[in-house]
Chains A and B, each alone.
Chain A
Amino acid sequence: MEITLLLALLLLAGLFWTTAKRIHFNIMNCIGAVMLLAMAILTTYKVSVSGPIHFSMLDNLFYIDEFSVVVLDTILIVSALVCIYAIGYMNHELNHQSVSLNQIRLFYSLTYVFIFTMILVVTTQNLGVMWIAIEATTLASAFLVGFYNSKESIEAAWKYVIICSVGIALALLGIVLLYISAVNVFEGSHSNLNWSFLLENAKRLHSSILKIAFIFILVGFGTKVGLAPMHTWLPDAHSQAPAPISALLSGVLLNSAMYGIIRVLTIVNKNLGNTLYTGRLLIGAGLISITAAAIFILVQKDYKRMLAYSSIEHMGIITFGLGIFTPAAIFASLFHMLNHAFTKSLLFLASGNIYLKYKTREISKVSGIFKMMPVTGVFFLLGLFAIAGMPPFSIFASELNLITAGFAARHPWLASYLVLLIAVVFAGIASIALKMFYSTGLPPRDRDAMKPGEVNFSGIAVMGVLLFLICAGGLYLPSVIKDLLVSAVGIVKGGH
């Protein structure tokens, strides 16, 4: 059933080429969103009722357990909402003749291929196929990043493709090394690249090979996650892509690359028997990323780039939690993955509406959002508070969990440093919010030329849903989700 839906997505991507009417595009988009949501509900239900889903075909290529479901659900829900948002966004662009119908068709078609590749990353258990899918996400989204065809967006697309492809190539070297260690032990007869197989036999693999493989995989997939210092593609790609794509890139693409790291991390930690080696690497990478992001947020002049650096910060926080690797820290990290996905996509979608209205990405040229677009303004401001870590939003809950877990795991200095960095980021975001909402930097003539009024109504509905999700997540965690997360933590810890 899931496979059928997965293939139907690809079919849908192809169907966009059979028609040239805007209304057909919109209908097909709605169907796509419904399909994505159906898939989310179906897999979550199946996994929570009867455990992991296997498919025996193709050498057990597909395998979905509770941890996959956590990431898969974020992908599916965010993608479905983004598809709805894109209808309003693209119609607005079309009405203002910023893009042509052909471009929009390419956009929708590639977006569905992009979503398909991300789903593939988290539903396969073959590390080789996972690598292929992660590389395919780069390829599917390259033209989406370069969508506007301006000098800047082409530059961003080029950097994105080159840096990510090379980074990912290093991860392939890591996977080859993993495979060498498996072939060494099992004489090649029944060895394969399925992580469930590698995990089962983790104790028998060679530690020295796994250690170097882990470094290659961390650097490789870390490039895609946006860990500093391999993050340089990320602010460019996120700021130049159209808002729906920025939301997908930041909200779910980074998570699905992180998923790859976590799967390998589980195997390596089980093999080594302790978390000292991977812990040092991950905590180091995480703190460097957060530090770099905090500095760049303070001096940012472009609001979409500011959001992009904030993504680097949050990926750093998740990596930090994985480095600590106690059950509480892993729980906080996974929960943070969910929260970051919803909050950041809300922000990017709201920033898309602001861009449609003001036609600029510069902070200094945006002012008086409340007067121009009251609803979007409120969403954007609340989103900024949420991402900076204010209660009652869910990011606050997961950050608090993570910091307590850090102290509990006897890393008081590192956890305090994390708190300090989060405070710096908060200051940076607050000052930017003040400038965008209350400054009078715009010359009166420009201000009068714009008429107050909202744009993109389907988008506003989507943002309402997202805001509800992040508020609700901060106040109350339903037992279904909590159980899913707890069993996901067990899987990441290496049990079954």
Chain B
Amino acid sequence: MIENYLHLLSITILITAFMLVANKRVNEYIKTFQLQSLLLAIIAGILGVHHVSQTGDWEILLVAVITVAVKVVYIPYLLRTTVRKVEYKVEKDFFWNIPISILICCGLVLLSYFTITNIEDISDRFVKIFLINSTAVVLIGLFFMISRKKAIGQIIGFLVIENGLFTAAILSTNGMPMIVELGIFFDLLTAVLIMGILVFRINESFESIDIDKLKNLRG
């Protein structure tokens, strides 16, 4: 029963990844990421409540709370401040137009479907579907990173990849060991802080956050 709800939520996470690819502005990216993280937190919350009622195990519920605090509240806030400070100008930010990007992403979902269904030892039907959806999110995140020119777009792509991984871990294994989960959050937070500072520095020395301009080092 609970699997059906989780199935639905994992598909909505995949849909938010498609929404992200269709977004045109940096502020929209951040909003979509926030929505996706909220969905992830809801998944963790449902699983957490389920576990508390079944076994009294509160770890997943804690993960849900941290997800809300870190991914829904703090990281979007951090990214918004960064965007405001680098005086982002609205200009075309993608290499391919959106319909083509969406088509490529559909291809990525198919790729993930065929890869995961080929693993014969995953017997549980739901685990299979969860893995297909979350691997697709990871691949779309990767595609998003290479399709945007702005440094902020790359950070968002990285965060979406991380969300996909997290969905995979929490849905198909009921969560990694607690110490690993906490460590991943810590790393993620530090990574975003460092990337934010580097964006400032790129903006200072290149007078733009266009990754296209980073072409000094070759060969």
Contact = CB atoms under 8 A, between A and B. Distances in A.
Interface of A: 58-59, 61, 126, 128-129, 131-132, 135-136, 139, 142-143, 146, 149-152, 154-159, 161-162, 165-166, 169-170, 172-173, 176, 179-181, 183-184, 188, 192-193, 206-209, 212, 235-236, 239-240, 296, 299-301, 305
A181 B154 CA distance: 32
B114 interface: no
* Dominant secondary structure at the B interface: helix
26 contacts: A59-B179, A126-B180, A128-B184, A132-B187, A139-B187, A143-B194, A146-B201, A154-B201, A155-B217, A156-B217, A158-B214, A161-B195, A165-B191, A169-B161, A169-B162, A176-B168, A179-B169, A179-B173, A180-B131, A180-B173, A184-B122, A188-B173, A188-B174, A192-B177, A212-B119, A240-B217
Given A58-B179, A173-B138, A236-B217, A161 B191 contact: yes
Given A139-B191, A142-B194, A176 B177 contact: no
Given A146-B198, A157-B198, A176-B168, A166 B145 contact: yes
Given A135-B191, A139-B187, A169-B158, 7 more contacts: A131-B180, A132-B187, A156-B217, A169-B138, A169-B162, A169-B165, A235-B217
A152 B201 CA distance: 12
Interface in B162-219: 162, 165, 168-169, 172-174, 176-177, 179-180, 183-184, 186-187, 190-191, 194-195, 197-198, 201-202, 205-206, 211, 214, 216-217, 219
Contacts of A209: 119, 121-122
Which of A126, A179, A192, A239 has the most chain B CB within a 10 Å cutoff? A179
Which of B154, B186, B191, B217 has the most chain A CB within a 10 Å cutoff? B217
A369 to B, nearest CB: 24
B170 to A, nearest CB: 10
A305 B154 CA distance: 26
B108 interface: no
Contact of B176 (A176, A206, A296): A176
A211 to B, nearest CB: 8
B178 to A, nearest CB: 10
8 smallest CB-CB distances across A and B, nearest first, come from: A128-B180, A206-B121, A132-B183, A155-B214, A236-B217, A208-B121, A135-B187, A176-B169
B50 to A, nearest CB: 14
Nearest to B115: A212
Interface in B125-164: 127, 131, 135, 138, 142, 145, 151, 154, 158, 161-162
Nearest to B199: A158
Given A158-B198, A176-B172, A166 B180 contact: no
A319 B217 CA distance: 27
Contacts, number: 134
B122 A128 contact: no
Contacts of B131: 180
Nearest to B154: A162
Nearest to B155: A162
B177 A162 contact: no
A239 B145 CA distance: 25
B120 interface: yes
A151 B183 contact: no
Contact of A132 (B142, B165, B180): B180
Given A126-B177, A176-B168, A151 B191 contact: no
A154 B205 contact: yes
Contact of A161 (B183, B194, B219): B194
A322 B157 CA distance: 33
A193 B127 contact: no
A129 B181 CA distance: 9
Which of A136, A180, A236 has the most chain B CB within a 10 Å cutoff? A180
Nearest to B214: A155
A296 B219 contact: yes
Contacts of A236: 217
B75 to A, nearest CB: 14
A160 to B, nearest CB: 10
Contacts of A165: 158, 191
A247 B62 CA distance: 41
A265 to B, nearest CB: 19
B161 A166 contact: yes
Nearest to A205: B121
A70 to B, nearest CB: 25
A184 B121 contact: yes
A154 B177 CA distance: 36
Contacts of A207: 121
A129 B172 contact: no
Contacts of A161: 191, 194-195, 198
Contacts of B127: 180
Contacts of A129: 179-180, 183
A166 B142 contact: yes
Contacts of A193: 176-177, 180
Contacts of B205: 149-151, 154
Nearest to A134: B187
Given A128-B179, A188-B173, A209-B119, A166 B158 contact: yes
B103 to A, nearest CB: 23
B201 A176 contact: no
Nearest to A183: B173
A236 to B, nearest CB: 5
Contact of A142 (B138, B168, B184, B198): B198
B214 A159 contact: yes
A310 to B, nearest CB: 15
A284 B115 CA distance: 22
A301 B219 CA distance: 9
B135 to A, nearest CB: 7
B121 A128 contact: no
A299 B219 CA distance: 8
B177 A59 contact: yes
Contacts of A192: 177
Contacts of B180: 126, 128-129, 131-132, 193
A267 to B, nearest CB: 15
A301 B218 CA distance: 11
B165 A173 contact: yes
A283 to B, nearest CB: 23
B119 A208 contact: yes
